[in-house]
Amino acid sequence: LFDYIAVFNRLFVIASGMHEPLVNTEWPWAMNFGSIGVLLAQELFASIDGPDGRTYLPNGTRTDWWEPPTKVGYNNSRNCITDYYVNELKTLRYQVNDVLVEVQLAGEPFSPTTLRHIGALRIAYGALKNNDDMKSLKMPGTNLTSEQTFFLAYAQTQCYQRQAIVQFLRTESGSYDEGTALNAALIHMPEFAKTFECEARKDQCFD
């Protein structure tokens, strides 16, 4: 539905992606920010941290434009997320043909995807918080604040149902399921802990 093409320095959006269940002009803005807003922000992030995005200038010239401090900071964050997958989460289990199979997680090459989720969430969440009309607004028909609705809307975009064997093979190749990626991103976001008034992790990769 969405794709960033580095050589053109353009984000392409298919028209059919600008409809429900991702966006609706009648929805509360918090829902739109949390769904389509985060998904588009992920593609914008690709213009910065993707294998192609980080090697193209705005005019299409191919060159590595990251400064050394940027590379160090990014690699530190990437290593932190990798450490979470390898040393804390460790494994994922799947029931395949009535047999429980376990996959040992390596963290790579999936850690950059998690970093992109976190970055996109922070971009969209920051945009929501900059809207004075949205601050501390209760959503119609719920007891949720606009901030809580934002995170709920994003979680709903990550709902997928696959056959266990398919996800098992994806995980072995380094593509973890959406639920795992979602949880990995949110537990490292102090904004999420603050919004739902829950205790933050002691070893968050971001503050």
In the three-class reduction of DSSP (H, G, I as helix; E, B as strand; rest coil), residue 11 is classed as strand
User: Of the candidates 112, 81, 120, 108, which has an alpha carbon nearest to the alpha carbon of residue 2?
Assistant: 120
Q: Identify the pLDDT of residue 135.
A: 58
SS3 103: strand
| Residue 51: predicted pLDDT | 78
Question: What are the structural domains, with CATH classification, of the chain?
Answer: 2-195 (3.40.390.10)
Residue ranges of the chain whose pLDDT lies below 70? 132-137
Residue 117: what pLDDT?
93
Q: What's the pLDDT at 44?
A: 86
Predicted confidence at residue 124, as pLDDT, reads 94
Q: Write out the two tokens for 132.
A: 């004075």
Q: What is the pTM of this model?
A: 0.89
Element (H, E) at 128: helix 111-129
Both tokens of 177, joined, read 């399921």
The answer to whether 41 and 22 have CB atoms below 8 angstroms apart is no
Please state, in angstroms and rounded to a whole number, the distance separating the CA atoms of residues 89 and 162.
21
